[in-house]
Amino acid sequence: MTDPTKKTALPPRSATIHTGTIRATTRAFLRALGQDDEDIARPHVGVFHTGGEMSPCNLNLREQAQHAKTGIYAAGGTPHECPVVSVSDGLTMAHSGMRFSLISRELIADSVEASVRGHQWDGVFAIGACDKNLPGLMMGIVRCNVPGVFVHGGAALPGRIGPHGRDLNVVDTYETIGKLLAGEATAEELETMSRACLPTAGSCAGQFTANTMGMVSEALGLAPIGSSMVPAVYSERAPLMRRAAKQLMRAVSASLEGGGPLPRDIVTRQALENACAVVCATGGSTNAALHIPAIAHEAGIRFHLDDVAEVFARTPLIANLSPGGKYLARDVYSIGGAGVVLRALLDQGHLHGDALTWTGRTLAEELAGCAEPDGEVVRRAGEPISPDGGLTVLKGNLCPDGALLKTAGLKTLVHEGPARVFENEEEAQAAVQNRRYQAGDVIVIRNEGPKGSPGMREMLGITALLYGQGMGDKVALLTDGRFSGATRGLCIGYAGPEAAAGGPIAALRDGDRIAIDARPGARSITVALPAEEIVMRLNQKAGVNEGAPRGGLLEKYALTVRPAHQGAVTHSGAVTWLRDAS
């Protein structure tokens, strides 16, 4: 007797491309790929990665993808390797190429969509390890809404000078450049640091954007717990990839039987709040406040900077991680991985434990076996580094839509001083290199927002120079551009509205008094100008061409990009998956 409660499994979505008389040519193409009839009949899974020689972050991702493909095939799927573009923040820093960094996030998400929807893949396995490819791949998974998993490709090991030296990472080289320009380091010391700071493949070793978004992938429920902090060069990554692939195939099978969560069932408001909490608790990258709203957008959820700010304000800083703290990704791995941070936040009531994960289990269930905090890398309950987290959103008459500041490691949260205004990054870079600024200044860099740049460049080169010159805690910096996750100091970015959109930052002149108060009761950034003066100045600047480059990709981006507080996304809403019924 037939069980009326048992669901009939649907054919794989990929059957669309190879079933029937008119698909004979498609079957020929698949056979030319080395597939036989059994392989063709299986679910087909896209294995997306950004492997290549554009940065050490990406260097060994193709090797990791091979292990994912092995796991997919062993579990009954047919894998298709799908490399996608990636732009390195490290190689684009401090020149015009940085305009393409944030844009690459959209290119990656679009590439995932085009390949998955074009080829009717049944699932997505995504591997990324650089600042923009992690969120771009996650955006693509959520947009396509087929069973998917994301795995961070891992961080580099820290470097060292001499057998008893301290752990180093690439930011030490940036700051040594500043010391050289200030006469406090030699060219030989800079060259030694450059050769020592990045000894292996993998993303930058601190809690910068890549590792922050790796933790976010786990908090969102899109990645295996414990996966993001395994160093890129550790052999443990091979079985990790195979295990994740086998679990993905279970999710694909469940989806064909009408069960199991899809990405938009996983990326809910609760999951997004969990993601914000782990960013704040680890003193993570301010870039996460761009990427989390963008991932939310793909899920059809309005989750903007104000929503991020609410979570930041209630989450304590519990992880002592660079750049605001002492430790690196390898140290988090050594105490049990990102699950230690997530478990601590859950136990302290800062996470939604009932949020679903890609395995079909809740986050609380996934975290049940995770280790307790060690007390040093990750603080125990009741012993936070700071009660109100490592990042904050500032608002006021200068930034009505908000601006972001990483407070982790800051010596002071209050600053007032005269504006020193620059129209672009190049002007500011030249001034800082030649010490054309004073202690107490608020260095303002405008026309670097998503639309005005276009591309929203990040300013790690400048902030690192300031610290290298011994001025990192003596000046403030404000921009409508971005900061790297490696930035430290009183550096405020993502100012909105941006100058190109008529934001008050466009009205600033040298000498205007700017007041910054990042204390919990204030969280403000203001300029000592009456509202009518700001409006008058903005009207005088209306229609002025700031000389930003146009043409090709930059032109398309400038025409479509939305404001930073909305995630700098480039399309109007989440894409609904359309099953091909032909």
Residue 582: CB atoms within 10 Å: 6
Alpha helices in 221-266 (DSSP H): 237-256, 263-266
Q: How far apart are CA 92 and CA 88, in angstroms?
A: 6
Q: How far apart are CA 16 and CA 23, in angstroms?
A: 8
- Per annotation, catalytic residue among 101, 255, 453, 484: 484
Any idea how long the chain is? Answer: 582
Beta strands in 55-169 (DSSP E): 78-83, 123-128, 148-152
- Sheet with 44-49, side-by-side order of all strands: 78-83, 44-49, 123-128, 148-152
Residue 140: closest CA among 165, 161, 123, 155 = 123
Structural contact between residues 350 and 315, judged by C-beta atoms closer than 8 angstroms: yes
One-letter amino acid for residue 7 of the chain: K
Beta strands in 352-425 (DSSP E): 391-396, 399-406, 414-422
Q: Which two tokens stand for residue 121?
A: 């893949």
Task: For tokens 């933790």, name the residue.
Answer: 215
3-state secondary structure (DSSP) of residue 399: strand
78-83 and 44-49 beta bridge pairing: parallel
Strand partners, 458: 482
Q: What share of the chain is helix, strand, coil (3-state, %, to 5)?
A: 40, 15, 45
Structural contact between residues 256 and 290, judged by C-beta atoms closer than 8 angstroms: no
Q: How far is CA 128 from CA 31, 108, 264, 318, 537, in A?
A: 29, 10, 20, 26, 44
DSSP codes, 18-52: HSSGGGHHHHHHHHHTT--HHHHHS-EEEEEE--S
Structural contact between residues 46 and 116, judged by C-beta atoms closer than 8 angstroms: yes
- Which H or E run includes 92? helix 89-92
C-alpha dihedral, 335 to 336 to 338 to 339, nearest 10°: -130
Q: How far apart are CA 432 and CA 471, in angstroms?
A: 10
Q: How far apart are CA 217 and CA 344, in angstroms?
A: 17
Residue 302: CB atoms within 10 Å: 11
One-letter amino acid for residue 461 of the chain: G
Q: Is 430 exposed, middle or buried (0-12, 13-18, 19+ CB in 10 A)?
A: exposed
Q: Residue 285 catalytic?
A: no
What residues act catalytically?
A: 484
